[in-house]
């Protein structure tokens, strides 16, 4: 088997994780994922200021102390920290290695950038697969840098290189994709953001980072270094499997992974075996992420206390609309133990109106509004409002640049199959307005994790037994989800059943296009759903 670890789930993750993973136990490969959708916009703005940038600079700083350590431990590094400029990061790493007196060999992958095909976008990138990474590793690279690849490709690529898989090894590729999907968000697989965090040995205070021991058939064991925090259980792995997915037929550039075939088994402390994954040919197209700017935004927060909270909020609304106009303003009132917070947000094409014109108007109310008026935010300039959209293109060739400078073409797959999206609406049956007896009194057993897929949100829900799953399937329909979460009621809700995981996955199409949410990436939807299930009759 090949032992692959993860040390980063996003741009800004725990800075010490690279050193911790290298020092705390044996690894063959250590990966790091930096490219959330918002990150592409951040890197694009960096590149506008300095064309030599466009990559995750924190990774370069982390390698100051870890590049030599990785060489000493015989650990190869694979990361998408190259962002919009993988060649630039590879060159910067080569300079760093030379300064440190290391003979590190570096390869990189390019061909994802489609900026010239997307007028007006700050960045447009195709989600490439894993065979370019494998090509660099096979050519002897100690470090492989990529731009936009699918997150799971950081794990699949090393497995391809290690086992010599071809594009026809679909089940193996799918199994490695599952391992990559579990690892890609770092500590989320070891107890981070976990519904039952109070049950973890350390209460979830400092979860370690995950490791996948991948076998030649694509099966794996998910684990972590001994002595690190958190836990690896069937449920922590289930939670991550349900994160940011849509249909169980999970499309990628190299394989469609059928998540409803995955089987999980606890085989020891902090060891979960993943087997049974089936793969089918990939679609003929690739997803393209397009990052741009959709106007400008700003927000101010008022503290409401005492009596007449709604009247106080109405006064602020009238005063601000009178000062800057109604267009683009949204008001969100949140209750607290002794009052409420009123967040006022603005979205406008004009950075001046959304900037100081708005925030100064809010501050000017300090002595001229409701009794007890106070704000938690100072006046500030507007910030660009990110816009991330997706498209698709026919699968293109891309390139692996080997450590010796050889430019190897990675052709697209020759055997593809159109992707069919088939969802179950799941209307409620039986006692439509009653929580089933099997779940009554046991709603604490319902776990959830939610996230974003472009402008869509997903909510994965799981339970802890066959009996509870039967009750969940019969009760929690797409229709009932919209009743429990009225904020999504105006959007198409799809439901997918995943009995192997005792789980349902819901996809809410287009809901993250709303500008009036305090949860713009849908991260809190799952926990809101759990709370409302608890309150259901």
Contacts of 270 (CB under 8 A, 6+ apart): 223, 224, 226, 231, 232, 233
Q: For 250-286, how does the pLDDT look when each residue is reduced to its tens digit (9 = 90+)?
A: 999 999 999 999 999 999 999 999 999 999 999 999 9
Considering the domain architecture, whether residues 399 and 379 belong to the same structural domain is answered as: no
- Structure-model confidence comparison of residues 319 and 386, the more confident one: 319
Structural contact between residues 395 and 416, judged by C-beta atoms closer than 8 angstroms: yes
Considering the domain architecture, whether residues 491 and 474 belong to the same structural domain is answered as: yes
This prediction has a pTM of 0.93
Q: Is the backbone of residue 72 left (phi > 0), alpha (psi -120 to 50) or beta?
A: alpha
Q: In the listed set 387, 418, 452, which residue is the last one of a domain according to the structure?
A: 387
How many structural domains are present in the chain?
Answer: 3
Contacts of 100 (CB under 8 A, 6+ apart): 64, 67, 68
Considering the domain architecture, whether residues 354 and 399 belong to the same structural domain is answered as: no
Q: Is 173 within the bounds of a domain?
A: yes
Considering the domain architecture, whether residues 372 and 402 belong to the same structural domain is answered as: no
Q: Is 429 within the bounds of a domain?
A: no
- The per-residue pLDDT for 537 is 64
Considering the domain architecture, whether residues 266 and 316 belong to the same structural domain is answered as: no
Considering the domain architecture, whether residues 327 and 476 belong to the same structural domain is answered as: no
Q: Is 415 within the bounds of a domain?
A: no
Structural contact between residues 531 and 345, judged by C-beta atoms closer than 8 angstroms: no
Considering the domain architecture, whether residues 181 and 58 belong to the same structural domain is answered as: yes
Q: Which structural domain, as residue segments, surrounds residue 469?
A: 443-535
Considering the domain architecture, whether residues 307 and 259 belong to the same structural domain is answered as: no
Query: What CA–CA distance (Å, rounded) separates 20 from 16?
Result: 6
Considering the domain architecture, whether residues 101 and 243 belong to the same structural domain is answered as: yes
Query: What CA–CA distance (Å, rounded) separates 223 from 190?
Result: 8
Contacts of 71 (CB under 8 A, 6+ apart): 102, 104, 142
Considering the domain architecture, whether residues 9 and 121 belong to the same structural domain is answered as: yes
Q: Is 433 within the bounds of a domain?
A: no
**HEC per residue, 256-290:** EEEHHHCEEEEEECCEEEEECCEEECCCCEEEEEE
Kindly report which listed range (78-82, 218-222, 242-246, 420-424) carries the lowest average pLDDT score: 420-424
Q: Is 85 within the bounds of a domain?
A: yes
Q: Is 432 within the bounds of a domain?
A: no
Of the chain, the percentage scoring pLDDT greater than 90 comes to: 83
Q: For 10-39, how does the pLDDT look when each residue is reduced to its tens digit (9 = 90+)?
A: 999 999 999 999 999 999 999 999 999 889
CATH number of the domain within which 355 lies: 3.30.70.2750
Q: Is 426 within the bounds of a domain?
A: no
Contacts of 66 (CB under 8 A, 6+ apart): 18, 19, 22
Kindly report which listed range (255-264, 499-508, 510-519) carries the lowest average pLDDT score: 510-519
Query: What CA–CA distance (Å, rounded) separates 478 from 459?
Result: 11
**What is the rounded average pLDDT for all residues in the chain?**
93
Considering the domain architecture, whether residues 263 and 317 belong to the same structural domain is answered as: no
* Residue 271 bridge partners (DSSP): 268
**Residue among 214, 246, 220, 173 nearest 415 (CA):** 173
**Residue among 490, 507, 485 nearest 498 (CA):** 507
* Residue 400 bridge partners (DSSP): 109, 408
Q: Is 431 within the bounds of a domain?
A: no
Of the chain, the percentage scoring pLDDT greater than 70 comes to: 95
Q: For 71-120, how does the pLDDT look when each residue is reduced to its tens digit (9 = 90+)?
A: 999 999 999 999 999 999 999 999 999 999 999 999 999 999 998 777 88
Considering the domain architecture, whether residues 297 and 323 belong to the same structural domain is answered as: yes
């Amino acid at each position: 088997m090949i032992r692959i670890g993860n040390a980063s789930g996003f741009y800004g993750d725990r800075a010490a994780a690279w050193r911790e993973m290298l020092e705390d136990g044996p690894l063959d490969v250590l990966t790091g994922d930096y490219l959330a959708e918002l990150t592409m916009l951040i890197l694009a703005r960096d590149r506008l200021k300095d064309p030599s940038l466009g990559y995750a600079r924190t990774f370069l700083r982390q390698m100051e102390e870890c590049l030599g350590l990785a060489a000493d431990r015989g650990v190869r590094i694979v990361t998408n920290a190259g962002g919009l400029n993988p060649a630039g990061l590879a060159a910067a790493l080569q300079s760093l290695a030379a300064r440190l007196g290391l003979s590190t060999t570096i390869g990189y992958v390019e061909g994802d950038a489609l900026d010239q095909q997307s007028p007006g976008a700050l960045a447009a990138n195709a989600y490439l697969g894993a065979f370019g990474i494998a090509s660099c590793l096979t050519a002897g690279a100690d470090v492989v840098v990529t731009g936009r690849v699918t997150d799971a490709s950081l794990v699949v690529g090393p497995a391809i290189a290690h086992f010599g898989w071809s594009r026809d090894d679909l089940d193996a590729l799918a199994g490695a994709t599952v391992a990559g999907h579990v690892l890609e968000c770092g500590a989320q697989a070891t107890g981070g953001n976990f519904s039952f965090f109070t049950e973890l040995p350390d209460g979830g205070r400092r979860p370690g980072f995950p490791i996948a021991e991948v076998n030649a058939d694509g099966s794996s064991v998910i684990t972590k270094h001994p002595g690190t925090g958190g836990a690896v259980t069937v449920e922590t792995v289930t939670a991550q499997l349900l994160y940011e997915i849509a249909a169980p037929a999970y499309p990628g550039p190299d394989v469609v992974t059928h998540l409803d075939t995955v089987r999980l088994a606890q085989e020891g402390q902090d060891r979960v075996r993943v087997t049974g994954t089936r793969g089918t040919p990939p679609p003929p197209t690739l997803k393209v992420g397009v990052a741009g700017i959709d106007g400008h935004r700003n927000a101010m927060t008022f503290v409401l206390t005492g009596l007449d909270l709604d009247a106080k909020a109405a006064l602020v609304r009238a005063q601000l609309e009178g000062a800057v106009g109604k267009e683009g303003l949204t008001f969100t009132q949140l209750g607290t133990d002794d009052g409420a917070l009123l967040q006022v947000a603005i979205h406008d094409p004009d950075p001046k109106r959304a900037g100081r014109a708005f925030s100064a108007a809010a501050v000017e109310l300090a002595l001229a509004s409701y009794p007890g008026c106070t704000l938690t935010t100072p006046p500030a300039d507007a910030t660009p409002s990110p816009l991330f959209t997706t498209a698709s293109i026919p699968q293109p060739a891309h390139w692996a640049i080997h450590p010796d400078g050889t430019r190897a073409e990675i052709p697209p797959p020759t055997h593809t199959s159109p992707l069919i999206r088939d969802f179950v609406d799941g209307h409620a049956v039986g006692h439509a307005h009653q929580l089933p007896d099997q779940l009554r009194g046991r709603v604490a057993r319902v776990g959830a994790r939610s996230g974003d897929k472009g402008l869509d949100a997903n909510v994965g829900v799981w339970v802890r037994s066959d009996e509870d799953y039967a009750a969940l399937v019969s009760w929690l329909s797409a229709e009932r989800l919209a009743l429990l979460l009225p904020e999504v009621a105006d959007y198409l809700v799809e439901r997918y059943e995943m009995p192997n995981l005792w789980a349902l996955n819901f996809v809410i199409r287009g809901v993250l296009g709303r500008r009036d949410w305090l949860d713009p990436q849908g991260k809190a939807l799952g926990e809101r759903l759990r709370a409302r299930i608890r309150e259901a009759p």
